[in-house]
Amino acid sequence: MTIKIYIDADACPVKEETYKIAVRYGLQTFVVSNSFMQIPTSPLIVRAIVDAGADVVDNWITEHVVAGDVVVTSDIPLAARVLAKEAHAIAPYGRAFTEDSIGLALAQRSLMEHIRSTGERTSGPPPFSSTNRSRFLQALDQTIARERRKRSSMESG
C-alpha cells in the first residue's frame, strides 16, 4: 500500500510545495477544502470538496487517512486525530507533530483560547516566511523517506 498525502487546504500556504514533493515521490495527494480550489492537472492530485461547517474537512481526512499516510495541517486537534491513527501530521511551518509533542500543543492551544475568551488580545502567529517553506519541505521529504524505508523493511522482513 502506498503512502497518501492529505492537505487540509483551506488557508494552507504550502500546497504548491506539497504538490512538488508528491509528484517527485509519485504519491496520491488529496486537497481537501470547503470550496473549489485550483489544483494542478495531474492524476496524482485529487480535489475533495466537502460541505461547509465546523470540522467537516477534519472529519473527512480522519475517515480516509490510514497508518503511515501524511497530513499537512496547522490544525492541532486534527493533528492529534491523525497521530491516533498512526499517520504523520506536519504543520506548514515545518513542525512534525509527534506523540510526544501533541499533548503540549493541545494544552497551549487550549490556554490561548481561554486567554482570548476573557477578552485579552493576543498576537497571532508570525508572518509566514521562506524559512518556514524550507523547513516544511525538509520535514515533508524526511517524513516520506522515513515512511518508505519503514515500509520497505517491513515488506522485505
| Model pLDDT, residue 127 | 84
User: What pLDDT does 154 receive?
Assistant: 85
Q: What is the mean pLDDT of each run of 10 residues along the chain (157 residues)?
A: 93 95 96 95 96 93 97 93 96 87 61 67 78 96 95 82
Question: Can you read off the three cell numbers belonging to residue 148?
Answer: 518508505
pLDDT at 54: 84
Residue 120 pLDDT: 72
pLDDT, position 104 = 62
Specify the pLDDT at position 116: 66
Domain 5-156 grouped into CATH 2.60.40: no
Q: How far apart are the first and last CA of the chain?
A: 16
| Nearest CA-CA partner of 102 in 85, 125, 124 | 85
pTM of the model: 0.86
Quote the pLDDT of residue 118. 76
Give the pLDDT of residue 21. Answer: 95
Rounded to 5°, angle at Cα 12 from 107 and 133: 90
